[in-house]
A and B are shown apart, each in its own frame.
Chain A
Amino acid sequence: MQFRSKIQKMLFIALISSLAVVLSYLERFIPLPGFIPGMKLGLANIMTVAALYYFSNKDVFTIVILRIFVSLLIAGNVVGFIYSLAGGLLSFAGMALLLRYFQKWVSPIGVSVFGAFLHNVAQLSVLGIIMHSVTISISYSPIIIFTSLATGFFVGLTANLLNDNILNQFMVRIVPQC
C-alpha cells in the first residue's frame, strides 16, 4: 500500500464510500423504461470497480459494507437492504477473485460486467427465496441479465476513466498497470 499513514487510508476509504452512497442515492431519480421491479443502473459499482485497482481487498470490502449500510439509513428500505447486501457481497467477491487471478486478461469493463452479472444472480436468488418460487426468478432473469450487460459495460468504462483521470493523481496503483 502506498498510503503515508493510517489516517490517509481511512480518509480515502471514507471519500470513496461517500461517493458511492451519493451515486446510489442519485440513481433512484433516473427513471428506467420497462418497470422491472428493482432495476437500476448500478452506478455505485463505479466506485467499487475503481477502488479494486487501488485498495487491498479488505479495504474494498469495508467500502462495500459501508456503502450498503449508509444507503439503508438513507432509503430506510429493509427489503432493498437484503437485496443490496446479497448482490454487493457476491459481486465484490467475484470481481476481487477475477482481478486476483485474471488481471492480465481483463480490463475494468470485463470486471464490471462480471460484477453486474453476479449482482443480478444474487438478487434473483434472494427474490426466489423470499417469494418461495423459482419460476418468478426465471421469468424475470433474461431481461435483467441482458440489461446488466449494457449497464455493466458503461459502468466499467466510467470506472476506467475515473481511474485514469482522477484517482491516478492521488494514488499509485497497487496492481501493475497494463
Chain B
Amino acid sequence: MKMKIKIGDMVIIAFVLMVTVIVYGVNVGRHFVSADSAVVVVSVNGEVIDRHDLSEDCVKVYDTDHGHNILEIHNGKAYISEADCQDQICILTREAEMNGDAVICLPNLFSLEVISGEGDRADAVSQ
C-alpha cells in the first residue's frame, strides 16, 4: 500500500538496464562482422558435427542419439523445420541469418549457429 520506490531500486534498475545495453552492444558489434561467407555450424551436445554454407539452399535430416531434427536453409536463412521434441520451441524461433544468431532445440541438445568466415574477411580488408 505505502509502496515507495527507493533509491536502491533505482540503482538496481539502472544497473540491469546498463547490462542490457552492454550485451546488446556486444551483439550488434558481432552482427557488423557478418556478410558474404557465413557458415551454419550444427552441433549436438556441444560437439560440432556439421557445417553448411549459408548462401546455398539445402535440407538435411539429423537423427542423433538425442533426437530427430531437420535443418533447412533458404535465401540465406537457416532454421529447424521439424523436430521430435516436446516443446517445439526451436521451430518457432526466428531464423538465423546474421553472425552470432542461433537456433536451439534444448530437449535434443541440438543447435545451429551462424558464424561468418573471419579468414575471408581479413583477406578482403588487406587487399
Question: Which residues of A are in contact with B by a Cβ distance under 8 Å?
Answer: 35-38, 79, 102, 105-107, 109-110, 113-114, 117, 127, 130-133, 135-136, 138-142, 145-146, 148-149, 153, 157, 160-161, 164-165
How close is B23's CB to chain A, nearest CB, in angstroms? 4
Which residue on chain A has the smallest CB distance to residue B9? A110
A86 vs B93: C-alpha distance when bound (angstroms): 24
Q: Which of B16, B27, B94, B113 has the most CB of A within 10 A?
A: B16
- B9 A113 Cβ-Cβ under 8 A: yes
Known: A139-B27, A139-B101, A157-B3. A113 touches B89 (CB 8 A): no
- B102 A146 Cβ-Cβ under 8 A: no
Known: A105-B8, A110-B6, A139-B102. A132 touches B46 (CB 8 A): yes
A138 vs B24: C-alpha distance when bound (angstroms): 9
- B6 A107 Cβ-Cβ under 8 A: yes
Please give the number of chain B residues whose Cβ is less than 8 angstroms from any Cβ of chain A in the complex. 39
Which A residues are in CB contact (< 8 Å) with B24? Answer: 142
Question: Which residues of B are in contact with A by a Cβ distance under 8 Å?
Answer: 1-9, 11-13, 16-17, 19-20, 23-24, 26-27, 30, 43, 46-47, 87, 89-90, 92-94, 100-102, 104, 106-107, 109, 111, 113
- B19 A136 Cβ-Cβ under 8 A: no
A79 vs B105: C-alpha distance when bound (angstroms): 12
How close is B117's CB to chain A, nearest CB, in angstroms? 15
- A35 B92 Cβ-Cβ under 8 A: yes
Select B12's contact among A106, A127, A161, beta carbons within 8 Å: A106
Closest 4 CB pairs of A and B: A132-B46, A105-B8, A110-B9, A106-B8
- A149 B13 Cβ-Cβ under 8 A: yes
- A145 B23 Cβ-Cβ under 8 A: yes
Which B residues are in CB contact (< 8 Å) with A165? Answer: 1
Known: A106-B9, A110-B6, A113-B12. A130 touches B46 (CB 8 A): yes
